[in-house]
Amino acid sequence: MKKHVVIFTALLATGLHLQAKTLTEIKGISKKTKQTTLSLYRVVTGHMEEIASITPKANGEFTFSFEPEYKGYYVIGTEHPGRTKDKFKFYVKGNEQINLELNDSTYVLTGQNTKENQLLEQWHKLIYKVDKEANNIKTDSFKFFTDLENTASQAQNWCADKKTGNADFDQLMHETVKYDLAFISNLYLNTQRYAPQDFNSYLKNLKPDEYLNKSLYNFPYGERLLQFLVMFKLHGSKEINFDKCLQAVPDDTIKGEYVLTRIPRAIKSYYDYSEWFEKYQQYFLTAEQKSRAKSILDHVAALQPGKKAINFSYPDANGKMVSLSDYKDKVVLVHVWGDHFQMEKEFSYLKQLQEEFKEKDLVVIGVSADWNSKDQWEKCMTKLNLNGIQLFGKYEIWEKYMIKGNNVFSTFMLFDKKGNIVSVNAPLASDPMLKEMIMKQL
């Protein structure tokens, strides 16, 4: 992923001053209990892309200074850009300062800020409670539906008397109220089993087609909301397949977005993608969609057996950097794992494989990219009694190797002694086929 240039406070100290009229400076203090890397994300066609990251100073101070590419929402937060938890959106137009304080659960504006972000903070406070409930799988449904109904009622005419003098933002804020509530409600429903008769008034009157349009592009969760609303619209249908989901999207351009966001999850091989491309390319209407479709095709091609492995480097528990390329002339089995109960049985089978091949030219590398902190990762390794090469990875490994959906919790990849791909979607350790694949490479 290409990262854009960001000027930090350290550079300013050398005499470089903020003179460009379009430059935006975000200054803050992180008062989180455990300091973690903060990232700045841009919003692109309804999803987040990281453009810079920084570790706060010892006193929690951090600064992002950058020239915005567009007027609209940027996001500050932690973790994978595909997740909205612990991320906060701010309106950026250039030539401004945004001052804030982060804590373990939210943000608070401090000092000088634009009218747009002051209004956005008011809205954030209004939806804070129900947003937190939606992100907690243990939230009682009755409580959530009650709080959602109360919040929706307060939001109904919330924008009516709130003007910032920026007509573009005021229109965006009006949309934000609608789309935020739709996303929060569907985020919760996506983790629950529900029946329409249990819905409150807000959900009973939610009309997905009012949201399935290009306004989705403006929001960091737009891509996910697209998928949620399609399933909401088809809930209760006897048979749900990809084509039925696609036809549930009324806007032709957004149909193309649906195809592009869902195809990568279904891809198993270059042949599979080529078939999908041939069938659904009619929905790629914009130049950007056509370019993205080709990029996916090229990415899939680069992950086929026999292609050179895409290198990665991550620290082990002692902070030593370890790379895939360090193990030339060895067969390498990489286990990408995450925080999920189903992974535990795979570790027991993996330990058996390690023991069986301990005298052979096999190296096993564990990479975990699903943790908020290194402490949590280390505690999990202790609990699972993991040994050998274990690396504290980043979500980028999911992107490099197109690891999607539940596969982020346990994916095995095999590489030969020449550093070429054998399989990036190898059988699980519990499948005897994995042992056979390893033996063929030794």
Neighbours of 227 (CB within 10 A): 17
Strand partners, 108: 101
Summarised one tens digit per residue, pLDDT across range 304-353 is: 999 999 999 999 999 999 999 999 899 999 999 986 555 678 888 999 99
Cβ neighbours of 182 (radius 10 Å): 23
Q: Which residue, among 268, 264, 257, has the nearest Cα to 290 in the 3D structure?
A: 257
Written out in words, the top-level CATH class of the domain with range 1-109 is mainly beta
CB atoms within 10 A of CB 101: 15
Q: What is the residue extent of each domain of the chain? A: 1-109, 313-441
pLDDT at 15 over 60: no
CB 439 within 8 A of CB 358: no
Are 365 and 333 a contacting pair, CB within 8 Å? yes
Give the pairing type, strands 362-368 and 331-337.
parallel
- How far are the Cα atoms of 33, 185, 214 from residue 210, in angstroms, in the given order? 41, 15, 11
Thinking of the domain 313-441, which architecture would CATH place it in? 3-Layer(aba) Sandwich (3.40)
Q: Distance between CA atoms of 250 and 258, rounded to whole angstroms?
A: 11
**pLDDT for the residue 2:** 41
Q: Which amino acid is at 182?
A: A
121-175 tens-digit pLDDT: 999 999 999 999 999 888 988 899 999 999 999 999 999 999 999 999 999 999 9
Same fold, 1-109 and 313-441: no
356-404 pLDDT tens trace = 998 899 999 999 887 767 888 888 888 888 888 999 998 889 889 988 7
